[in-house]
Amino acid sequence: MMSYEAYMSQVIQPMRDELTRNGFVELRTAEEVEQTLPNAKGLTLVVVNSVCGCAAGLARPAVVHSLNHSTKPDNIYTVFAGQDKEATAKAREYFEGYAPSSPSFAIMKDGKIMTMIERHQIENNDLQTISNLLTTAYDTYK
């Protein structure tokens, strides 16, 4: 019999792969987040990934689509809410002024939060609108 952790790992892996195969670096521990986010130079995008339907149908496809824009983040990272709990909690410490939200996108510059695109902006929009929110942020903060 497969353990719950092994089962969840199998179920979640394609959700991780959708981002990592497109260049996102997973931050899976609090230590990785601490070493990375405050020291990231330039424009950084952090995807707070999630197992929910709006992450699968909207957030991940929209963020991947946004990387086709002429202005792109210098760094692209992801943490997985509900899976890599300590990493996600640590990342959220850098999203000062924003409530925890997943899925969501944090736009940072030189280690400081500039803006967040939160779940309520994702779940009530279509893919193109979400991608436009991201590319507008890239253009604004680059």
Residues labelled as active-site residues? 52, 54
Cβ atoms 56, 15 nearer than 8 A: yes
Q: Which ranges of 1-142 does DSSP label H, i.e. alpha helix?
A: 4-20, 30-36, 53-54, 60-66, 85-93, 119-123, 127-141
Distance (Å, rounded) from C-alpha 6 to C-alpha 66? 32
| Burial status of residue 106 (CB atoms within 10 A of its CB: 0-12, 13-18, 19 or more) | buried
